[in-house]
Amino acid sequence: MYTALRLQRKLKPELKRGEVEIVVISPDPYMTYQPFLPEAAAGSISPRHVVVPLRRVLEHCRVIVGEVRSVDHAKRTAKFTTLATVEENTGALDITYDELVLAPGSISRTLPVPGLADHGIGFKTVEEAIGLRNHVIEQMDIASSTRDPAVRDAALTFVFVGGGYAGVEALGELEDMARYASRYYHNVKADDMKWILVEASGRILPEVGEEMGKYTVSQLRKRNIDVRLETRLDSCEDRVAVLSDGARFPTRTVVWTAGVKPHPLLAATGLPLNERGRLKCTAELSVYGAPHAWGAGDAAAVPDVTAEEPGKECAPNAQHAVRQAKVLGDNIAATVRKQPLQKYAHKYVGSVASLGLHKGVAHVYGRKLKGYPAWFMHRVYHLSRVPTVNRKSRVLAEWILSGLFKREIVSLGSLEHPRAEFELAAGGERPKES
């Protein structure tokens, strides 16, 4: 989206003269600002406001809601499916191009853990974030209404696997939300809940550095969150999470945030990939040895020209993705106009992470911040980054309103089954909980 935005601005005259067409193919008609997913899960931001509608912002582009399946760069052709081709079973469509931008991002890196495919939930999409929020509140309702202590215990046990941004922020925000929500239950108290963070390495949040990572562990433990380092999830069959340290937790919630891997589409392009499956790119963001193919974001291995050690690549994060997209847009515009290309150079400035309302940790431009100042910086930073003035204003308004009024603690899990009531009226059965 950022590359297309840049291109439609830079190539305005060519677009007006009909010399250029920009086509964006995306499975969703919106772009998701992932760093806001934990706040969406906590109910601090509405799901609608963490996404940006592509058709509205890319008004000079052709937006196709579909999925690219393969690319034949020698023939300058990509195959893609749409909702209609899938429904009508008519096979993939072809699209030809002059310049190709591949930025499908990454997908969750899963391991063959028994039971994970049946019971795990990821945390990369707005559907998963809102689904998880509804699920957590629903578990509190189950715990409040059951007479079976085993069901209650499993409902109130929440296991998160992976101590990177996504895992720590999602856990921090959801635990904070659930703790707040427990005030409104007569028989579920904050101390009745078990929140467990399982991390295979000896540290969490490597993005904020070792010292701040240790601080984060101590803060989470102070909140009674069970942080287990150098521990893995061995299995989660039959709704029991078994850890490598021998611990067993009956649970109905296993959130898998143990890292990402490049999108599998890249393997179906025939373009050069590095050993980890990312697209091999130059500092100008073109694909090595494949003129007119470009890459950016999590999917692309871009040399970090600011690094002291040679051969270092830019890390897969939003900080690089957004900045690369702009340089990429400029470089494609320069190619169209036969002008010289620029190199992508950005020195990683550090990171900010939210650990719940008014709690955070940051290590930015060499400065370390904790607690409220870090949380405030997290909000200011991401507000400045979320695309479009429209979204910035809506997010800010929501924050102000939630500061004035109480937090939303309602679960709208039934939204996932909109036909349930009608099916019941028409003589069917209510859908069973999965």
Would you tell me which residues interact with ligand FAD (CB under 6 A)? 25-28, 34-35, 37-38, 67-68, 103-105, 123-124, 165-166, 169, 263, 265, 297-299, 316-319, 321
Phi first, then psi: give them for residue 406, nearest 5 degrees.
-80, 160
Name which of 106 and 251 has its Cβ closer to ligand FAD: 106
Name which of 235 and 317 has its Cβ closer to ligand FAD: 317
Q: Measured between alpha carbons, how far is 175 from 177 in angstroms, rounded to an integer? A: 5
Name which of 25 and 93 has its Cβ closer to ligand FAD: 25
Would strands 300-301 and 350-356 be described as parallel, antiparallel, or unpaired? unpaired
Name which of 154 and 163 has its Cβ closer to ligand FAD: 163
Name which of 264 and 428 has its Cβ closer to ligand FAD: 264
In angstroms, the Cα distances linking 319 to 6, 110, 209, 314, 323 are 17, 24, 16, 10, 7
Q: How far is the CB of 230 from ligand FAD (least distance, A)?
A: 23
Helix (H) or strand (E) holding 10: helix 2-10
Which residue bears the tokens 């992976």? 162
Let me know if 97 is exposed, middle or buried by CB neighbors in 10 A (0-12, 13-18, 19+): middle
Name which of 184 and 372 has its Cβ closer to ligand FAD: 372
Name which of 156 and 300 has its Cβ closer to ligand FAD: 300
Name which of 152 and 320 has its Cβ closer to ligand FAD: 320
Q: How far is the CB of 235 from ligand FAD (least distance, A)?
A: 24
Q: Measured between alpha carbons, how far is 166 from 353 in angstroms, rounded to an integer? A: 9
Q: Measured between alpha carbons, how far is 161 from 233 in angstroms, rounded to an integer? A: 7
Name which of 155 and 353 has its Cβ closer to ligand FAD: 353
Q: How far is the CB of 198 from ligand FAD (least distance, A)?
A: 17
| Cβ-contact 78, 68 below 8 angstroms | yes
Q: How far is the CB of 182 from ligand FAD (least distance, A)?
A: 24
Residue nearest to ligand FAD (CB): 297
Q: How far is the CB of 4 from ligand FAD (least distance, A)?
A: 12
Q: How far is the CB of 115 from ligand FAD (least distance, A)?
A: 23
Closest to 140 measured CA to CA, from 412, 417, 411 = 411
Q: How far is the CB of 352 from ligand FAD (least distance, A)?
A: 7
Q: How far is the CB of 109 from ligand FAD (least distance, A)?
A: 12
Name which of 115 and 262 has its Cβ closer to ligand FAD: 262
Residue 347 DSSP SS3:
coil
Q: How far is the CB of 55 from ligand FAD (least distance, A)?
A: 14
Buried b (16+ CB within 10 A) or exposed e, 190-226: bebbbbbbbbbeeebbebbbeebbebbbebbeebebe
Residue 96 C-alpha from the chain's centroid: 30
How many helices (H) and strands (E) are present in the chain, helices listed first? 14, 24
Q: Measured between alpha carbons, how far is 215 from 221 in angstroms, rounded to an integer? A: 10
Q: How far is the CB of 351 from ligand FAD (least distance, A)?
A: 6
Q: How far is the CB of 169 from ligand FAD (least distance, A)?
A: 6
Q: Look at the chain and count its residues.
A: 434
Q: Measured between alpha carbons, how far is 308 from 304 in angstroms, rounded to an integer? A: 9
| Cβ-contact 217, 229 below 8 angstroms | yes
Name which of 160 and 215 has its Cβ closer to ligand FAD: 160
Q: Measured between alpha carbons, how far is 144 from 137 in angstroms, rounded to an integer? A: 11
Token reading at 100: 């190709």
Residue type at 422 in one-letter notation: F
